[in-house]
């Protein structure tokens, strides 16, 4: 299977970016102050997270990628800018002086996540309007748009973005968040995980009921497809003509954080390059199987994916 390159696949990623910080240490004792482990920090790492991790994944697959988002006027925002500029992404981070850049700090001891601390604030309206204007201007340069919603407020104008992208004839992929999917109406594909889908359509007893409920949602939102990622159960693509199921491929699951980013990034590269649904979903499933074998928010390289596919 061929993975499209920069000449044929151009993806614009818009959404909530964040800085993923990792503090790695050793746990040798329990605190005398409270029944909690004491972690002696030995090293730390920073990686782009959220929509920025989606963009990194697109770049790692060899496609052309632009990233449009909002950060605070702070050290974490500058770190994100520096990390992203080094990875071949066309970055446009609008600075909002009224907010702090979203940071997720994870404390890792003995290869296990012990604690996560989140810092976040919602961007201001003026900055988001400026971002929308830039989105409208840059649309023509890209084949597909990924709207990566982490519920941090950076996609307040998502319905308008979908309308603009659809009018321009672009493929629109949405990674959803929250209990209101109406704002995603008109997208090409929405990619909820099991829990996100359950929050919208309720529980299902078996495969047939899952497909029935997913199809009703797909139809109500006027989507071309709905892709449900189901962890160890693989993923299911629901379209008007029926459902296609892909089995999970991970040999060893080390860390699922960021797996959804890899799935939507791979799907966007394949669709932007003209691949059909079956090939696009197969490639996304194989990429997910690779990335969950890595620690933290990670990427799958073009070479890794090609060798796994072939």
What does the alpha-carbon distance between residue 211 and residue 175 come to, in Å, rounded to a whole number? 19
Q: How far apart are CA 219 and CA 211, in angstroms?
A: 12
Residues in Cβ contact with 246 at an 8 Å cutoff, skipping those fewer than 6 apart: 234, 235, 236, 237, 281, 282, 285
Residue with tokens 């939102």: 221
CA–CA dist 252, 40 (Å, integer)? 28
Residues forming a β-bridge with 131: none
Which token pair is 55?
Answer: 């963009």
What does the block give as tokens for 54?
């989606």
Q: How far apart are the first and last CA of the chain?
A: 7
In whole angstroms, give the CA distance from residue 172 to residue 188.
Answer: 5
Nearest to 1 by CA among 66, 87, 89, 61: 61
Considering only CA atoms, give the Rg of the chain.
19
Among 95, 96, 85, which Cα is nearest to 55's? 85
The first and second tokens of residue 185, run together, are 């109406």
**Residues marked as catalytic:** 261
């Amino acid at each position: 299977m061929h993975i499209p390159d920069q000449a044929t696949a151009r993806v614009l990623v818009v959404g909530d970016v964040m800085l993923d910080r990792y503090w790695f240490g050793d746990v040798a004792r329990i605190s005398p102050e409270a029944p909690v482990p004491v972690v002696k920090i030995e090293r730390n790492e920073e990686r782009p997270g959220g929509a920025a991790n989606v963009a990194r994944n697109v770049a790692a697959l060899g496609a052309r990628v632009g990233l449009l988002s909002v950060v605070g006027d702070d050290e974490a925002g500058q770190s994100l800018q520096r990390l992203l500029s080094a990875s071949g992404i066309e970055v446009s981070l609008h600075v909002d002086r009224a907010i702090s850049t979203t940071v997720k700090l994870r404390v890792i001891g003995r290869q296990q996540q012990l604690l996560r601390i989140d810092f976040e604030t919602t961007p201001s309206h003026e900055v988001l309007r400026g971002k929308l204007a830039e989105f409208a201007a840059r649309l023509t340069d890209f084949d597909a748009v990924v709207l990566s919603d982490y519920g941090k407020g950076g996609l307040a104008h998502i319905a308008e973005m979908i309308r603009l992208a659809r009018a321009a004839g672009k493929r629109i992929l949405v990674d959803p968040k929250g209990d209101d999917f109406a704002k995603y109406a008109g997208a090409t594909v929405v990619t909820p995980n099991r829990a996100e889908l359950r929050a919208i359509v309720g529980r299902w007893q078996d495969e047939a009921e899952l497909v029935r409920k997913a199809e009703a949602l797909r139809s109500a939102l006027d989507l071309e497809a709905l892709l449900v990622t189901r962890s160890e159960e693989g993923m299911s693509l629901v379209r008007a003509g029926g459902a296609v199921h892909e089995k999970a491929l991970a040999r060893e699951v080390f860390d699922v954080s960021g797996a959804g980013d890899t799935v939507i990034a791979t799907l966007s590269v394949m669709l932007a390059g003209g691949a059909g649904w079956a090939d696009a979903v197969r490639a996304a499933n194989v990429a997910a199987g690779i990335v969950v074998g890595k620690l933290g928010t990670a990427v799958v390289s073009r070479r890794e994916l090609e060798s796994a596919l072939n």
